[in-house]
Amino acid sequence: MEYELAIVGAGPAGLSASIEAAKAGVKVAVIDENAKPGGQLFKQIHKFFGSKEHRAGVRGIDIGAQLLNEAKDSGVDILLNTTVWGIFDNVLAVHSSNKIQRLEAQRILIATGASENTLAFPGWTLPGVLGAGAAQTMVNLHRVAIGDRVLMVGSGNVGLIVSYQLMQAGAEVVAVVEFLPQIGGYWVHASKITRLGIPILTSHTIKEVTGDGKVEVATVGKVDSNYQIVSGTERNFDVDAVCIAVGLSPAAELAWMCGCEFMYIPELGGHVPVYNEDMETTVPGVYVAGDVAGVEEAATAMIDGAIAGLAAAESLGYLDHNEYEDLKRGKRVSREVFELSRFRFRRMAKERFANKEGRLKQWSKT
């Protein structure tokens, strides 16, 4: 198989990139190991934030469907149930239906997203302890209940949103436990669940989970300023599930494999592949976009994916350079709103890339 642009991952970043590239005339394939495309979008049943151009007010599931249709209409080949298990120069090694094949591409975009972090505590391996994203998958995608009474660990947007969605699916969330003294996610997401009676216990952590072959009791304790559990503050909750929402890390194995340089930036989720304002890594012809390049959100994934698609198209000769620069600037301006106020740290974190030596172009001021 031969394509001009191969995109690994059919989430918001990958699909957005494919649309821009295909519209410019590039022969594009999007490859995804799942049976259904859309990445995390098809579990996001809530309305998104942002402005109209970011599709604000539209539910994630519908944004996913919109992107998918646009990609198909633009003539993008979408290969599902296909795992890219290696990248060797310009060859992607893919595995599908028990067959191993080569896919040659002139440009590659790695848009593989991020994986949930985990938290180890006594009892964390019991059936019934699962990631918050895992709970979201089971409940929203597969429509099965993961428990009747759930404890949520972590008050970032994932923890808050999944708590709300568990309530919508008929479960009872007994509490949200947050290590830090303040809530991690949006305050409106927090208020949506506190007014339903779900307490958010800041400065608390999970001590242990016990049960006979499954989750039965979760023990939570208050932490002091050194983040140690204060003896005597322990509380037990009778639950049958404990969800862990303690952050995401880029799923960047393919980028490691093909030799991209990385930087450790905790604010973006850990080790992130270094990229420039064209979303290109230190390996020529290899781009990254979406959570794999730094955990942010769907809106930024879509914008960065679009830039990567345009950049690939320009480098393949399908877009005039000045036209590309104009389009890119427009996209970066619309992205800026997600790097202000409480998100200023994202822009500051990325400016560290500019200090990287090598052939990376400096990040220019927008």
Using the contact rule CB under 8 A, the part of the chain among 7-15, 32-40, 91-99, 285-293 near other proteins is 32-40
**Residue 122 binds other proteins, judged by CB under 8 A:** no
Q: Using CA of residue 61, residue 65, residue 70, residue 71, what is the dihedral sign? A: positive
| Binding residues among 316-345 for other proteins as defined by CB under 8 A | 337-338, 340-343
- What is residue 294's three-state secondary structure? coil
Using the contact rule CB under 8 A, the part of the chain among 96-104, 180-188, 274-282, 346-354 near other proteins is 180-188
To the nearest whole angstrom, how small is the minimum distance from the Cβ of residue 103 to other proteins? 20
Using the contact rule CB under 8 A, the part of the chain among 10-18, 92-100, 129-137, 316-324 near other proteins is 129-137
**Residue 362 binds other proteins, judged by CB under 8 A:** no
- Whole-angstrom distance, CA of residue 20 vs CA of residue 191: 38
**Residue 102 binds other proteins, judged by CB under 8 A:** no
To the nearest whole angstrom, how small is the minimum distance from the Cβ of residue 223 to other proteins? 13
Between 106 and 202, CB nearer to other proteins: 202
Q: Considering CB under 8 A, how many residues would be counted as binding other proteins?
A: 75
Q: Which tokens is 82 given?
A: 């296909």
Between 144 and 357, CB nearer to other proteins: 144
Long-range residue pairs from 234-240, CB within 8 A, at least 24 positions apart, any chain = 234/207, 237/149, 237/151, 237/174, 237/175, 238/149, 238/174, 239/128, 239/147, 239/149, 239/150, 239/151, 239/174, 239/215, 240/128, 240/147, 240/148, 240/149, 240/150, 240/214, 240/215, 240/216
Find the binder of other proteins among 128, 250, 270, 273 (CB under 8 A): 128
Counting beta carbons within 10 angstroms of the beta carbon of residue 90, is it exposed (0 to 12), middle (13 to 18) or buried (19 or more)? middle
Between 278 and 339, CB nearer to other proteins: 339
| Binding residues among 57-86 for other proteins as defined by CB under 8 A | 57-59, 61
| Binding residues among 233-262 for other proteins as defined by CB under 8 A | 251
**Residue 307 binds other proteins, judged by CB under 8 A:** no
- Whole-angstrom distance, CA of residue 186 vs CA of residue 175: 17
**Residue 120 binds other proteins, judged by CB under 8 A:** no
Q: What is the dihedral of CA 292, 338, 69, 43, to 10 degrees?
A: 70
Find the binder of other proteins among 189, 328, 346, 350 (CB under 8 A): 189
**Residue 129 binds other proteins, judged by CB under 8 A:** yes
Amino acid at 299: A
- Whole-angstrom distance, CA of residue 288 vs CA of residue 246: 24
| Binding residues among 210-229 for other proteins as defined by CB under 8 A | 213-214
User: 312 near 90, Cβ under 8 Å?
Assistant: no
User: 8 near 111, Cβ under 8 Å?
Assistant: yes
Between 37 and 285, CB nearer to other proteins: 37
Using the contact rule CB under 8 A, the part of the chain among 102-110, 179-187, 321-329, 353-361 near other proteins is 179-187
Using the contact rule CB under 8 A, the part of the chain among 8-16, 198-206, 222-230, 303-311 near other proteins is 198-206
- 3-state secondary structure string, 156-179? CHHHHHHHHHHHHCCCEEEEEEEC
